[in-house]
Amino acid sequence: MLKQDQGIGMTSQRTRDRMITRLKAQGITDERVLDVMKMLPRHLFMNDDVLASRAYEDTPLAIGYNQTISQPYTVAKMTEIVLATKIPVRRVLEIGTGSGYQAAVLSMLIDRVFSVERIAPLQNQARERFYQMKLNNIRLKHSDGSWGWEEHGPYDAIIVTAAPEEIPQNLLDQLAPQGRLVIPVGDKNNQTLRVIDRADGHYEETVIETVSFVPLLAGQA
C-alpha cells in the first residue's frame, strides 16, 4: 500500500467503500469498475489537503488551471461504457488527462492507455502520480487532443473528458473497426454524453445523459 494512502478519516478505505455503495445506488453495475475505484486512492489526485479530504464526494473538484476532476459517478459511467465496447478494448485513448484519475482507472482495466493533455503542468503532475503509483502502461502527450494521437492508433475506444461543440473528425478516424468513442458534446449550458460506435461503413450514435464538462479548447497551454 502507498504510504500516503494510510491516512485515516476522509482518506480511509471506509470512505472509499461509501463511495462504492453510492455508485451502485446510482446505477453503476460493472464489478470491474467498482473494484478498481474501491482500490485506487482518489485523494492522491488532488492538489492540496483540503481538497483531498473531499476527494470521495460525488462532485467535480478543482485541480488548478481552471480545470476539474470529474465526479466519481461520471468516471465510473464512462469507464463502464468503454468496457462495454463490442470488441475487446486493449488500447484506449483519453483526451484531457487533467489530474490523471480517469487514466489511472482505465490503466487498471486496459492493457495500454494513451492520454493527451493541453496544459503542460497538469500533465507533469499526472506523470509524477503514475510514476509513484507504478502505473506504467500509460503514455502521455502534450498536445491539442482534438487531433487525437494518430501515431498509436487506431484505438479500440476513445474517451474524451472535455466537451467540444462538435465531434472532432480526427477522433472518429482514429477508431478501430467496431471501436467506440465516448464524448460529451455541446456548450456550457447544454451538454450530453454521447457514444459513437464505428460500424461497417457508418457510425451509430447514442445519447446517454445530460452532463457538465469543461470545454475542449484549441491549442496548447
Backbone angles phi, psi at 172, to 5 degrees: -60, -40
Residue among 146, 157, 180, 183 that touches ligand SAH (CB under 6 A): 146
Query: Is 70 a residue of the active site?
Result: yes
Q: Work out how close the CB of 87 gets to ligand SAH at its nearest, in angstroms, rounded to a whole number.
A: 23
Cα separation of 36 and 208, whole Å? 23
Compare residues 67 and 107 and give the one whose CB is closer to ligand SAH: 67
Catalytic residue among 12, 70, 107, 146, which? 70
Q: How far is CA 201 from CA 173, 177, 217, in A?
A: 12, 9, 30
Beta bridge partners of 117: 142
Sign, CA dihedral 206-212-214-217, equals positive
Options 6-14, 18-26, 139-147, 179-187: segment touching ligand SAH (CB under 6 A): 139-147
Q: Is 122 in the site for ligand SAH (CB under 6 A)?
A: yes
Total of residues contacting ligand SAH (CB under 6 A): 23
Residue closest to 182 by CA, chosen among 202, 155, 201: 155
Catalytic positions: 70
- Residues of the shown chain interacting with ligand SAH in the complex, contacts defined by CB under 6 A: 67-70, 95-96, 98-99, 101-102, 116-119, 122, 144-146, 161-162, 214, 216-217
